[in-house]
Structure 1
Amino acid sequence: MDKKVRFAVIGAGVIAPSHAKAIAGNSEAELVAVADVEPDKANKLAEDFSIPYVYRDYQELLKRDDIDAITVAVPSGYHAEVVIAAAEAGKHVLVEKPLDITADSMTRMISACRQADVKLGCVFQRRVTEASIVAKQAIESGKLGKLVLGDAYQKSYRSPQYYKSAGWRGTWAIDGGGALMNQGVHGIDLIQWLMGDVHSVFAYSSALVREIEVEDTAVAVVKYKSGAFGVIQGTTSVYPGQETRFELHGEKGTIIFDDSGFKQWKFADHEEAMPQVVPRVSASSDPAQIANDGHFILVDDLIQAIRENRDPLVSGEEGRKAVDLILAIYESARTGKEITLN
């Protein structure tokens, strides 16, 4: 495919401009259409990014033969419905996190895209930050030796008004969860990407402050398949929001970093200068502050995956891992038992 990859955005809410900017800013992409059930939102996005075609019904959009790929920015519980329809229409897909909110939905999405031979990528932009890549390379090169502990601390603030801003927020049916499924899913994806797959989890999870169905605070103890242990904390109930922090410890060293960069880079068997990386814009207190760099990278990656006929950087199978872990955390909190992941 030498011509530009022609995109449409389905869903025109808070995160949609990040998708539109990434597409509009790519010389190999063209932004053709947008769909949203709320016409005012769709028209606003179309006006801001000079998108020629606007739809209220995404099914009508998918009938267009001048669209090669879509990005999905609808509420989490609707991801599977849109992705499966797109796959059946022969469109490649980049879906905003989380992949979906149930195991069955994710299985059906992945299967539909594999059967239709279209690409399925998921937006987990922490994987493409400079600090994350440097830390991953250090672990894989053996600098930490045997891994012992891998922790993710995600202490965000979301106001009562945030949860009232859209009817689906803070609901099990559409949001799929709270501080973990919506905000914390990024860090949960990253810690398991860095440390390896999780074997089991024991957790507490509850709404301690906000009047919502789902959790505003959760803490989990995890055991990785490597044998290492870890702690995952996630909240939207503390003020002010803190930078997300990752602590990685092994028998031969420690790596600690947050949104500002590395805080510790120390190894038992050699001295090494702490890497200097570009700070990440934190959205711990304001979701509108989410940086666009990751969306640019992942949109471009989908384009190259289509051209090279390979899986995207974060495939459907990779994208589901964080959700499967969160679902296990919820089950543990509900039952009071340690839950082993499949």
Structure 2
Amino acid sequence: MKKVKTTIIGCGRVAEHYKKIIKKYKIKNLLIVGVCDLDKKKALNFSKFFKCKYYKDFKKMQLLEKPKLTLVLSPSGYHYMHSKHALENNINVLTEKPMTMLPENINKLNKIAKKNKLMYGVVFQNRENLAIQALKKALKQKRFGKIVNISVNIFWCRYQDYYNDGWHGTWKNDGGVLNQQAIHHVDVLNWLFGPIHSVFAKSTKRLNKLQAEDTIIVAFENIDGVLGTIQATTAARPTDYEASIKVFGEKGYVQIGGIALNKILVWNFLSKKKNDTQIKKKYSETVDSGYGNSHSIVLNKTLKRLISNNFNALVSADQAENTSRLIHSIYNSCENKKLVLLNKRLLSKKLGLNN
């Protein structure tokens, strides 16, 4: 069986989830040959688990291990640097979200990837969720008719210790709930119902001390005139409650919920299909956390493509750039307290910058 030599940059919170799913789902085509973190204790822990070498210097690791793929799981503000080095050294990249903090940097790295005929992909695993796939199919079949309204809600809990690690919640390396947690749900919204035409947003800090926001509300309109809202917070207490998307149309209503867009709660259309009664059961999943179950799907599909020399990422850099521009437009609206048109390609005055 062919295996893809892979290195991991970053052995923190999200990497722990990767470790868990790699063990649980037995990702067979993956061979971890090196792990890197500035925290020696974390890197050593991962090296023992994967039975590979550990490094503090990512450049040295890439030079000595010569991987085919690098998983960039470092703090968000470092994604550009780590991805750029890999792509310039002919290493395929699969990075956690956000691809980079600034949309123009995604474009720069995409050009390097295309020039070197490499994969440059981002992990937006919720696209692979069973419930989201069912919604996508219903949209393709035009079962909603004219869509009236869309709402996206993320009510999660992050206590202060989450923001005390030196990078979470900072403008330079992270952003707030919008760019850290809700970016997954904004991506699903943009993917299924975009392009978005305009946004108007308001953000605040209710319970947590951080540079960015822990709570945000967004009103948006897509290019077809559909109005909708995004509500997101990490100030829910004492646990994660909901990650949902609700779609109202002239011919039906669907509500996807759970804590990771993992359950179909309502599936009700005027025109019935014979399998509608089984939809909730067939396309709902049990999950352990807001990460959901779909990282394993992303990994397996990515590895399969690389083995067959298909360097097209599951989520392209172009799509990730569109989501990044939507995030920046929302922040720009918060900063300037006004409606923002997406075609203006406005950037946040803070996100990704050293404020």
Fold shared, TM-score > 0.5 on shorter chain: yes
Match of 2:331 in 1: 330
Q: TM-score scaled by structure 2?
A: 0.88
Give distance in 1, aligned partners of 2:256 and 2:285. 10
Counterpart mapping for 1:68-147 below 5 A: 68-147=68-147
| Corresponding residue number in structure 1 for 2:50 | 49
Looking at structure 1, the residues matched to 311 and 173 of structure 2 have their Cα atoms a distance apart, in angstroms, of: 31
Q: How much does 1:105 deviate?
A: 2.0
Instruction: Measure how far apart 1:319 and its partner are.
Output: 2.2
Unaligned runs of 5+ residues in structure 1 are 285-289
> Is 1:189 matched with 2:190?
no
Native 8 Å contact 1:23 1:30 kept in 2? no
Aligned ranges for residues 242-281 of structure 1 at < 5 Å?
242-259=241-258, 261-270=263-272, 272-273=276-277, 275=279, 276=281, 277-281=283-287
| Alignment correspondent of 1:160 | 160
Distance 1:279-1:3 versus aligned 2 partners, 3 A rule:
closer
- Does the 8 Å contact 1:5/1:30 carry over to 2? yes
SS of 1:127's equivalent?
A: helix
- Distance in 2 separating the partners of 1:280 and 1:325: 30
Task: Read off the aligned partner of 1:159 and give its amino acid letter.
Answer: Y
Distance in 2, matches of 1:263 and 1:188, equals 20
Aligned residue number for residue 287 of structure 1: none
**Helix, strand or coil: the match of 1:210?**
coil
State how far apart, in whole Å, the 1-side matches of 2:65 and 2:234 are: 42
Tell me, in whole angstroms, the C-alpha distance in 2 between the residues paired with 1:88 and 1:308. Answer: 18
The superposition leaves residues 127-153 of structure 1 with CA deviations (integer Å, 9 ceiling, x where unpaired) of 111001001100111111122222110
> Cα distance 1:325–1:274, how it changes in 2: closer, same or farther (>3 A)?
farther
Q: Is the 8 A contact 2:8 2:70 kept in 1?
A: yes
Higher mean Cα deviation, 179-188 or 270-279? 270-279
Task: Note if contact 1:80-1:108 (Cα within 8 Å) is conserved in structure 2.
Answer: no
Single out whichever of 65-74 and 126-135 deviates more from structure 2: 65-74
**1:280–1:104: structure 2 CA closer, same or farther, 3 Å change rule?**
farther
Which among 208, 211, 214 is matched to residue 212 of structure 2?
214
Shift of 1:17: 2.8
- Helix, strand or coil for the counterpart of 1:330? helix
Give the Cα–Cα distance (whole angstroms) in 2 for the partners of residues 171 and 283 of structure 1.
23
Q: Please tell me the residue identity of whatever aligns with 1:266.
A: N
1:114/1:280 CA distance change after superposition, 3 Å: farther
Structure 1 residues 314 and 73: CA distance shift in structure 2, 3 A:
same
Is contact 1:19-1:71 (8 Å) kept? no
Greater shift in the superposed pair: 251-260 or 214-223: 251-260
1:242-301 deviation digits (Å, cap 9, x = unpaired): 1211101122111111025112111123363251133242635xxxxx34x322111112
Counterpart in the other structure of 2:353: none
Contact 1:145–1:252 (Cα < 8 Å) also in 2: yes
Please tell me whether the aligned partners of residues 76 and 97 of structure 1 are also in contact (alpha carbons under 8 angstroms): yes
Q: CA RMSD in A?
A: 1.8
Is the CA contact (8 Å cut-off) linking 2:35 and 2:43 kept in structure 1?
yes
| SS in structure 1 at match of 2:201 | strand
What is the Cα deviation at residue 29 of structure 1? 1.9
Partner of 1:317: 318
d(CA) in 2 for partners of 1:174 and 1:82?
Answer: 13
Conservation of the 8 A alpha-carbon contact between 2:118 and 2:311: no
Q: Which amino acid aligns with 2:270?
A: A
Identity over aligned pairs, percent: 29
Name the structure 2 match of 1:237: 235
Q: Is the 8 A contact 1:122 1:316 kept in 2?
A: yes
Shift of 1:90: 0.5
Please say if residues 201 and 338 of structure 1, whose CA atoms lie closer than 8 Å, have aligned partners that are also in contact: yes
The aligned counterpart of 2:178 is 180
Q: Which runs of 4+ in 1 moved over 6 A?
A: none
Residues of 1 paired with 2:206 and 2:328: CA distance? 19
Residue 300 of structure 1 aligns to a residue whose secondary structure is helix
